[in-house]
Structure 1
Amino acid sequence: MIKIMADSTCDLSKEIIDNYNIGVAPLNIIIKGKSYKDKIDIQPDEFYKVQRSLDKNPTTSMPSPEEYLKIIDRAVKDGYTEILCICMSSGTSGSYQSAVIAKDYYYENNKDSNIKIHVVDSLSMSHGSGWLIVKSDELLEEGYSFDQIIEFNENHKTRVKHFLCVDDLDNLIKSGRLTNVSALIGKVLRVKPIMSMKNGKGAIVSKVRGKNKALNYYIDEFTRRVDKDITDFIIIGYTTDINIASNLQEKIKKETDFDGEIYIMQMGAAVGTHVGSGGLSMFFVEKEKMKDGLLKNKIRTIKEKRLQK
């Protein structure tokens, strides 16, 4: 029996978590010195309402190894013999390392155990790791072995494509996810930075003006990049505005030939701490050897810095 576990930044819906019996280790959200467990002590809508009223942005901390150990121990007691843990990118959090420590601790204290545990560094944020988790559960239902599911994750994790844009740049500035120069230009010109992931960390790949152009960018890049053989579902994420997520869903249905499932799921407090209100994301698997316009962006950033001198 195979157990799949994750940290709470996977941002999967309760329905999916319950349906696939996914073990989730919660991150901690610190608001005014008080700690809350993501999606246990504080729910997304509640968090975003509180966040808007704060002068200082909340912070987050990774799940402790003990949180992962609880899930491992429970899984073993329930008869699982193979455990796959898919974590958020090690480039943005210590969650992956915490899971590795838990795995090592389990083996140190159960030297005769025949339990197999594998931890995946997804190199993803939010529904990026969530995409791998849902796909792993699908493969499990199709009869794939533990080793085959591991191989899929390790071979395809770098091709899970992220796009993220936000309405309000303030939280990205406060959390250090966006440079002050880029943020200033964005505010003055009303430019929406579109971010993706590079080597496990966030990177701006484009800048557009307005929501409609952001949606068009998503559609254009999806059409150009999507690996149709692997992408049988898309995940659209949002923080506070489900309507914009629904608009993107309808746009995909009308303007592309994609006929798979399109999930809409809310980003939780751990991710929302950095993204803030108005966040819109999209996740799918892209073709091999696709590249972003990162070099162009670097040149643009240099020019922006010169404008500020």
Structure 2
Amino acid sequence: MKIAVVTDSTAYLPDRIKNSPNLFIIPIPVILDGKIYNEGVDIEADEYYDLLNNSSEFPTTSQPALGEVIELYKEIAAKGYDTIISIHLSSGISGFVNTLFSLTDSIEGITLYPYDSKITSVPMGHMVEATLDLVKENASLEAIFSKLDIIRDNTYAYLIVEDLNNLVRGGRLTNGAALIAGLLKIKPILTFEDGKIVLFEKIRSTKKAFARAEEIIGKRDKEIGRPVKLYVIHANNLAVAEEEKAKLQEKYPNAIIEIGHFNPVIGTHLGEKAIALCISAQ
């Protein structure tokens, strides 16, 4: 059995795996002012927000072209792989991973296993990293999916965004939650619930929202009961991410804490300056 690992460009990948010969990445398109940019190919996060801030229309995202995905899978098969584990952003954000299930019998000589991360960005990159490590160790499919399930079932993210309008316009958050936030002048903490972005708590200020998210992370650590990593993820807001990392390190001195950023697709939905505090089983 020769296993390839496929993911999409919303994953924030550690440097050590980016050039893995077993890794293949499907770019997700972002549409700005009528022009299509393939994330990670035509545009990177550091240049995206300049374009976003100067765009005349609200940006949109779309699923990759199915024909291009099929071609990639065929290219992987031509390289001698017989198995593909395809790990993608949450079905609660995009229907892409569900579309892949229709392809499971479409590629001759390949057994395809689509996997819904139910998250995105750094935690999804962690799943990809763990999978590649197990593939290198010649682990069984059962062991790989068991590990993926452990990570997925023990990953929690708490998001603090500057403006809920991006999520509402993109259909990733209910209008009701945004309306409540506007009327009460609150700073909501959002989270992923079964892969969907939902309102977690309503807080009166940004400072209190961060403090509450930091507290929740600690409670989740105790619940998980196994080694974890903490992540601070930002949308063009590195200074605040570094501040949050320092606060978390002081609060949890033994924790492994990493900083990552949201790539353009997720940045489109969350908006610039968004911050997420995450905890995930290692």
Measured in 2, the distance between the counterparts of 1:15 and 1:252 equals: 25
Three-state SS of the structure 1 residue aligned to 2:19 is helix
Q: In the alignment, is residue 254 of structure 1 matched against residue 250 of structure 2? A: yes
Three-state SS of the structure 2 residue aligned to 1:10 is coil
Counterpart AA for 2:45: P
Instruction: Determine if contact 2:105/2:111 at 8 Å carries over to the other structure.
Output: no
Q: Which runs of 5+ in 2 are unaligned?
A: none
Q: Which residue of 1 aligns with 2:29?
A: 28
Three-state SS of the structure 2 residue aligned to 1:51 is helix
Shift in Å, 1:196: 0.9
**Which segment is superposed worse, 163-172 or 240-249?**
163-172
Q: In the alignment, is residue 240 of structure 1 matched against residue 244 of structure 2? A: no
Measured in 2, the distance between the counterparts of 1:210 and 1:174 equals: 23
Measured in 1, the distance between the counterparts of 2:162 and 2:169 equals: 15
CA RMSD of aligned residues (A): 2.5
Alignment of 1:40-59 (within 5 A): 40-59=41-60
Deviation per CA, 1:130-189: give whole Å up to 9, x if none.
Answer: 232223234445553232112222454233212111123332232233444543453465
Structure 1 runs (4+) greater than 6 angstroms displaced: none
Shift in Å, 1:225: 0.8
Q: If each structure's helix is expressed as a fraction of its own residues, which one has the higher value?
A: 1
Measured in 2, the distance between the counterparts of 1:41 and 1:256 equals: 39
Shift in Å, 1:269: 1.2
Q: In the alignment, is residue 264 of structure 1 matched against residue 259 of structure 2? A: yes
Q: Which residue of 1 aligns with 2:10?
A: 9
Q: Which residue of 1 aligns with 2:100?
A: 99
Q: Which residue of 1 aligns with 2:272?
A: 277
**Which segment is superposed worse, 3-12 or 74-83?**
74-83
Q: Which residue of 2 aligns with 1:193?
A: 188
Q: Which residue of 2 aligns with 1:61?
A: 62
Shift in Å, 1:15: 5.4
| 1:146–1:180 distance in 2 versus 1, CA, 3 Å | closer
Measured in 2, the distance between the counterparts of 1:58 and 1:239 equals: 15
Instruction: Determine if contact 2:8/2:87 at 8 Å carries over to the other structure.
Output: yes
Shift in Å, 1:203: 0.8
Shift in Å, 1:101: 3.3
Q: Which residue of 1 aligns with 2:172?
A: 177
Deviation per CA, 1:269-299: give whole Å up to 9, x if none.
Answer: 111111111111133237xxxxxxxxxxxxx
Three-state SS of the structure 2 residue aligned to 1:105 is coil
Measured in 2, the distance between the counterparts of 1:52 and 1:74 equals: 37
Three-state SS of the structure 1 residue aligned to 2:55 is coil
Instruction: Determine if contact 1:238/1:245 at 8 Å carries over to the other structure.
Output: yes
**Pick aligned residue for 1:220 from 215, 222, 227:** 215
| 1:102–1:179 distance in 2 versus 1, CA, 3 Å | closer
Q: In the alignment, is residue 206 of structure 1 matched against residue 201 of structure 2? A: yes
Instruction: Determine if contact 1:168/1:278 at 8 Å carries over to the other structure.
Output: no
What is the TM-score normalised by the length of structure 2?
A: 0.86
What is the TM-score normalised by the length of structure 1?
A: 0.79
Shift in Å, 1:76: 2.9
Measured in 1, the distance between the counterparts of 2:250 and 2:227 equals: 21
Counterpart AA for 2:275: L
Instruction: Determine if contact 1:3/1:84 at 8 Å carries over to the other structure.
Output: yes
Q: Which runs of 5+ in 1 are unaligned?
A: 287-309
